[in-house]
Amino acid sequence: MKRLYFLFSSKEILFRAAVTQALERDLTAVEHVLADPSRPLPERLVEALDQWTGRHIGPLTRDVAAVIEDNPDLLGEIAETTPRRFEELITEAIAVESGQDAAPLVAQTMISASIGLKHQAAPREFYLERLEVAIDLLVR
């Protein structure tokens, strides 16, 4: 572990690099899920939102989220660019089936519902069940 610290000039830079890598990996997974036209849109949206938000349900991830919330400058611009890119991906997927006009508001509402459910859901299964209902209502 000490060798890892030698690669970075500070713990903050190490933390930023680790979070950046995780967020970029998540975005790549979301892109892959949403690009699969053989699956119904609601199914792809549930998986994409679960990848972005749902897999971060649990005590350890709450601790990491608290560190980030208490230190907003810790991550730099990645804290703004990756959520924006995620929203663009969701919006683009919805626009293909629902049209460009409605897509931004529907995407933003889905993301808000997903974040709200994350804070309500103790088990991930609860989050997924509720998320499926929300998405079903929003893509009708």
Q: Where are the domains of the chain?
A: 10-138
pLDDT at 110 over 90: yes
Residue 63: per-residue pLDDT: 58
What is the average per-residue pLDDT within 67-84? Answer: 80
Give how far Cα 76 sits from Cα of 1, 55, 60, 100, Å: 24, 23, 22, 31
Query: Cα 16–78–36 angle (5° rounding)?
Result: 115
Cα(17)–Cα(33) distance, integer angstroms: 24
What residues contact 109, with CB distance under 8 A and at least 6 apart?
A: 138
Q: What is the pLDDT confidence band of residue 62, given thresholds at 50, 70 and 90?
A: low
The C-alpha R_g of the chain, in whole angstroms, comes to 16
What mean pLDDT, rounded, does the chain reach? Answer: 86
Write the CATH number of the domain with boundaries 10-138: 1.10.357.10
What is the secondary structure of 59-119 as a DSSP string? HHHHHHHHHHHH-GGGSTTHHHHHHHHHHHHHHHHHHHHH-TTTHHHHHHHHHHHHHHHHH
pLDDT at 23 over 60: yes
Cα(33)–Cα(16) distance, integer angstroms: 26
- Of 33-47, 68-82, 95-109, least confident by mean pLDDT is 68-82
Q: What is the pLDDT confidence band of residue 119, given thresholds at 50, 70 and 90?
A: confident
Residue 106: per-residue pLDDT: 95
Q: Which residue has the higher pLDDT, 77 or 4?
A: 77
